[in-house]
A and B are shown apart, each in its own frame.
Chain A
Amino acid sequence: MRLKATPRRRIWFVRPTIAGAAASLLAGCTGPLSALDTAGPAAASIANLWWVMLIGATVIFVFVMALLALAFLRPGIGRRTPASWWLIGGGLAFPAVVLTPLLVYALWSGERLFPTGDPAVAQVDVVARQWEWTFTYRNAAGQPLRSSNTLHIEAGRPVQLNITSADVIHGFWVPRLAGKIDAIPGHTTVLQLKADAPGRYRGVCAEFCGVAHLEMQFAIEAHAADDFTAVLGTLAQADAPDVNAPRARP
């Protein structure tokens, strides 16, 4: 069965799709949980990476679709092209040129997102359980303090979160500030983040954890220095260890 050739309709279709998608992305970027509406250096670094990759991917995509269209619009155009141009040029050289700098940059920028282990950084122990979050602040003097479902931090200063779970696997994610990390029973995972300015930043549980997974939301409140001390003063004292810590390995 012969069809009418419709390659022109195909090309016509590609650009509006991509333009529409780009427009929707740029217009709708802000939101309380948007990873592109950044409020901290970690999220900002990742968002920049995203925009670079999006532009690169779009260019590559358009280029490849154009080659495809050309094969139909000008039949036989590649008859004298050596096969090695396609196989080695397109298949090997082209990905190498794109992926090598991307991978190197990714490893380098990823390294800077890892916790530094600096003892001067404030530490908070986070315990996830079905279906709430508990935060225990390791206070410099006196008893550790505790809060539920709202994590208080000092704006402009990094904080290291030591995260675990009391039951199933949960995910700790505050998109506007940093990437996510899982809360796994029997393990402690570490996330370091910073909020540039005071404000309230919403977080969600990012690993499916049962029937009320949706309801397990929380927030980070970043305060200016004086407010922060005052807020800490209002928190309850943590009376007992929150969950049995895994027996330390010898």
Chain B
Amino acid sequence: MTAPRNRAFLFMALGFTVWAVAFAVLYGVQGTGCELGWHRMPLGPLSLLRWLLILIWVAHLAALVWLFAIGRRALAATPAKAALEQFLWRASTVLSATAVVATVWIGLALLVPSICVV
């Protein structure tokens, strides 16, 4: 049956697709939020806009960790002799982990810089 292998192949692209969505949503919300003035609305120590961005970031991170877990489980369930499946699930798992790191990496940007121009 090739359907599970096709699924594994598709999975390779899924991790970074989530990263790309996170990136696009964060950038889009930042731009729109600045225009709407959400950075001037305080909510505790941070502005409404910064909380929103952090929330979006955490949500995508969670999705990526879940994808990584799925990949790891699938890899463990694959027999060692099935070279193609081993390759696809191993690659998927590493790519999901990499996407997690890449999302954390761009999250560094959420800490320091000012969200909107003064």
Contacts and interface: CB of A to CB of B under 8 A. Distances in A.
Q: Do A and B come from one complex?
A: yes
Interface of A: 103-104, 107-108, 110-111, 114-117, 190, 249
A103 B110 CA distance: 13
Contact of A104 (B35, B108, B114): B108
Nearest to A118: B118
Given A107-B113, A114-B117, A115-B117, 10 more contacts: A103-B108, A107-B108, A107-B109, A107-B111, A107-B112, A110-B113, A111-B113, A115-B118, A117-B118, A190-B117
A118 to B, nearest CB: 9
Contacts of A103: 108
Interface string B96-113: 000000000000110111
Nearest to B118: A117
A111 B109 CA distance: 11
Nearest to B112: A107
A125 to B, nearest CB: 16
Nearest to B98: A92
13 contacts: A103-B108, A104-B112, A107-B111, A107-B112, A108-B112, A111-B113, A114-B117, A114-B118, A115-B117, A115-B118, A116-B118, A117-B118, A190-B117
Interface residues of B, number: 9
Contacts of A107: 108-109, 111-113
A166 to B, nearest CB: 21
A198 B117 CA distance: 29
A103 B111 CA distance: 12
Interface in B66-116: 108-109, 111-114
Contacts of A108: 112
User: Closest 5 A-B residue pairs measured CB to CB?
Assistant: A117-B118, A107-B112, A115-B118, A111-B113, A111-B112
A25 B109 CA distance: 33
Contacts of B108: 103-104, 107
Contacts of A104: 108, 112
B1 to A, nearest CB: 33
A96 to B, nearest CB: 9
Nearest to B117: A190
Contacts of A111: 112-114
A162 to B, nearest CB: 11
A114 B114 CA distance: 9
B112 A190 contact: no
A249 B37 CA distance: 11
Contacts of A115: 117-118
A249 B35 CA distance: 9
Contacts of B117: 114-115, 190
A249 B113 CA distance: 25
B33 to A, nearest CB: 14
A104 B107 CA distance: 11
B106 to A, nearest CB: 10
A114 B109 CA distance: 15
A223 to B, nearest CB: 26
